[in-house]
Chains A and B, each alone.
Chain A
Amino acid sequence: MTGPLAETVSFCIEVRMDGELTYHGSPNDQSKAVMTDRPRNGWYRGFPAGPLALALFVLLVWGGAAAAQAQESLHLEEGRFFIETITVENERSLTSEIVVSESRLMIGQEYTESQLRDAIHRVLRLPLVLDANLSLRKGSRRGLYELVITIRESRLWFWGIDLEMVAWSEPVSVSGLTTTDTVVGSVGLIGRRFPAGRHGLFYAALGGTDGTIQLGYTHYDPFGRGGVLGLSYGWADCAPETEDGVSSSDPGDSGCQTEVLGLGLDPTYSSWSTLGYSHRARLTLGIPIEGNHSLRLLTSYRFTDLGIRRQAVDTDRRRFGRFENREDLELNFSWVFNSLDDPVFPGSGDIIEAGLDLKLMTADIRQFDLTGDAAEVVSGASSTQVAGVATGRHYWPIGDKQTLWVGGELLVGSSRVEDLPGPDLELINQNSLTWAAAASAGHGVFLTRIRDHGRWRDLRWESDLQIFSHGLGTTPASADFPGHGARISTGLTYRNTWGVMRLQVGYIALEHR
């Protein structure tokens, strides 16, 4: 969590370690082109959307609560199945080893129906898997079963398009020295996955958040106990700098990234816009614990040669900084619980993450104040933040078309900032308690879901409301930053066997302390 602006202006697509498409700021942070269920087409009449869905949800919760105390009712006995063999059918590019590894099921173990369905959801979260179903067959003798996982793979080529228009309650700086109250961004990428051996998957892509070129490799079951190891490298080159030091590029241009760091790293609430090139390398290690629980280690290193830094909500174009040789190092170690039934369009389940987050940032900054004597200060700045981070989201299906979700994020930590120039050329040196919190709720309804032979496409209308707040334990260097805010957005997300496209409009209201 790097502040509200970071959540909202980084509306970019990136290819993750394993070739997944990830959409920042969308309600579906585990994006990938897959789908789990197959509702019928034709004469189904969907539920009304919007407020009625919310009212129905309330009725469902209250109605269900009334029966929560009831533990006895007519029902079938719990099904438990001793798995003798696991068979994967219909695999083409993916190997059965990868599918079985990601299911986390072991031959010779007994599983309940619930555990088997959780396993199939994990398979569904694999890149290249569009659909997955499970069934049982008789084993070699009575009481033993063959588990059959039938998958449908997506295309090896993939694409992603993200178009977003966001209106702000006040002008913001989201690219160089450009200030606007309506931000229109577009990001696109195209890439291809390359199966490598029995456990590996390469990918290469053009476009996306990390830059114009992205390369990655994912190795499944690296230690023979499930899990995943991923490596990726991205190279980005922003548009050339103009003579007056202002980029002509938009934030949505490939390679031109704008982000607002958390207050712990930059208490001036500034936007950092890349103007030159940047490299980023990432390493991800996922270790399964049990069922849907796993441990995850994320590391990231990024180098940016040149950029512009200015207060995000300050419309004064005459106070800004140029940064060079910026280095960012991130280390995150988290426990993850993921029971989502679909990574792109979750309809049920939970995604919960909790862990420790370390961020280091250094940069050479030349800060200008052209309002008076055209003064400037040069500094080698550094920031360090150590924080505990927890995020979670729960999804409820309403029928086979609609979904409601609620979520929250919390960050609490401490930070150290050294020689970071402020807007008035003062050098900030401080230790701070930093925190950030956000809560969100949303609704999605499928407008189209086609599962005919040879055709596979989804169109979902999604709306989301988020409120956020952040602050520092000490007095911030600049008191003029928005401490609270809210974002409301609505849009369409389309998916087919090739990729995902998102069109969204939103409004962000900022409230200053």
Chain B
Amino acid sequence: MRRLVLTVLLVLPAFVDAAGQAPVAVVAESGGQLVLSRLPAILGEEEIEGQLTSGLTTTFVLRAEVPGKKLVGGARVDVRFELWDEVFQVVAVGIDGEGEGRELLDREALEAWWADLSLTVLEFEADTLVVGETMNLTLEVVPFSQSEQEDTQRWFSRSFAASQGRGGGRLTDTAERRGDSLEKVLGVLMATSIQRRPVSSFRWFIVITGGD
């Protein structure tokens, strides 16, 4: 019976994500981190294609959540096509604060880089998350720029000050335990989804696998 359930869960993403391959979520060998890879090839979709070639910044916001475990995290990818240099400026950053910024020479390089991306989307205490559990993953494509982000953060600063006066919140407490990097990245993630309505959204239910 357990094997049947596991099989169903493994097959489920294929039905949920009928338009493309679901990403893969793997518990890092060192434990305590969930790494996302094999992002689906969505950059060629009409809505996203138009954003990517507009010359303005497009942000891909990944939000991960494990139901029942109160684990929330994510990652962010920024892409902007520099018209005069004809290169793609890209930045990717995970929940651990680790990331990379690159300049990619053409569209093929961008798609290859996207396909090879590995991003840490969750950090957790040992044994909190086990292989076989499912995770909700949302990917939102947001027209977003750094200046808007800063505006959002200023707005949040005021909100945060107000909530501190009321004793703060659960996520805040969690973030304090996990350190500054989580605060930074998670805040940016949340800020992006609040500030701007995405042009496209994707959602998957992913079965967590173990490292090789």
Contacts and interface: CB of A to CB of B under 8 A. Distances in A.
A198 interface: no
B72 A63 contact: yes
B120 to A, nearest CB: 13
B188 A67 contact: yes
A232 B184 CA distance: 52
Given A67-B183, A67-B191, A73 B163 contact: no
A74 B89 contact: no
Interface stretch (A108-116, A178-186, A273-281, A501-509): A108-116
Contact of B19 (A42, A58, A143): A42
A75 B76 CA distance: 9
B66 to A, nearest CB: 14
A37 B101 CA distance: 28
Interface string A383-413: 0000000000000111111010000000000
A455 to B, nearest CB: 15
Given A114-B151, A400-B140, A400-B198, A69 B78 contact: no
B200 A348 contact: no
A123 B194 CA distance: 22
Contacts of B78: 75-76
Contact of B83 (A62, A78, A145, A341): A145
Interface residues of A, number: 56
Contacts of B147: 78, 112-114
A426 B196 CA distance: 56
Given A143-B84, A399-B138, A71 B197 contact: no
Given A70-B180, A70-B188, A399-B201, A60 B160 contact: no
A45 interface: yes
A135 B81 CA distance: 11
A375 interface: no
Query: Which of A74, A81, A137, A401 neighbours the largest number of chain B CB atoms within 10 Å of its CB?
Result: A74
A38 B180 CA distance: 35
A397 B193 contact: yes
A316 B134 CA distance: 65
Contact of A39 (B151, B163, B200): B200
Nearest to B73: A63
Interface string A300-340: 00000000000000000000000000000000000000000
B113 interface: no
> Which of the four size classes fits the interface of chain B?
35 or more
A59 B65 CA distance: 12
B180 A138 contact: no
Interface string B92-118: 110001011100000000000000000
A73 B93 contact: yes
A77 B146 contact: yes
Contacts of A239: none
A374 interface: no
B203 interface: yes
B99 A74 contact: yes
A397 B163 contact: no
Contacts of A117: 56, 143, 145, 148
Interface of A: 36-40, 42-45, 58-79, 81, 112-114, 116-117, 133-138, 142-143, 145, 341, 347-348, 396-401, 403
10 contacts: A39-B198, A45-B203, A58-B169, A59-B169, A61-B163, A65-B160, A69-B160, A74-B93, A142-B84, A347-B197
Interface of B: 16-19, 45, 47, 50, 53-57, 72, 78, 80, 83-84, 89, 91-93, 97, 99-101, 138, 140, 143, 145-154, 156-157, 159-160, 163, 168-172, 175-176, 180, 183-191, 193-203
- The 5 lowest CB-CB distance pairs between A and B, nearest first, are A67-B187, A136-B55, A65-B160, A62-B169, A64-B190
